Amino acid sequence: MQTSPPTLLGEARIAELMHAYLAAEYRWELDGQWLDLRIGAPTPEVWARFPEATSAGLLSAWDPHSIPRPEATNREADRRLHRDLIDTGLPFRAAFSSATNRTWREPSWLVLGISASAFDALSRRHQQLATLYWTPSTPIRLRVDASRPPGFAEDPRIVWLR
């Protein structure tokens, strides 16, 4: 298993990435339409379509720890994540994350009904620094596999896992 993100990225880089992730655009596909997700907001359309789901999470396998890799490498990682999602037996949908200025875009997946611990394990398996996770009674939160960097203001939209 690879080293965890806090040893791969410095505190300043983690803080920079958190600002980028909070500002990013997130979307998921349903019946051929792309629907918005916004950190800090509820998602009634998710729960209307999947009323039995107890949670939702968005994750990617692209660019582990936000370190760019070749597209072919990212596509193979995405195929592995897709197989892992099939193995869960849970419903999932295509999704993506992107910078508002279009400097980056990551294919992602929205998975429904996964426990936080199973979701975190899947995220770590695919070496992701941050994901989105929420329940029907909570807004979307950024879930970060790192400690809050000194000087980075507390933000209720972020859950720091370390």
State the pTM of this model: 0.92
DSSP string, the chain: -PPPHHHHS-HHHHHHHHHHHHH-EEEEEETTEEEEE-TTS--HHHHHH-TT-S-EEEE--SSGGG----HHHHHHHHHHHHHHHHHHT--EEEEEEE-TTSS-EEEEEEEES--HHHHHHHHHHTT-SEEEEE-TTS--EEEESSPPPTTPPP-TTEEE--
What confidence score (pLDDT) does residue 104 get? 86
pLDDT in tens, 114-147: 999 999 999 999 999 999 999 999 999 999 999 9
Band of residue 9 on the pLDDT scale cut at 50, 70, 90: confident
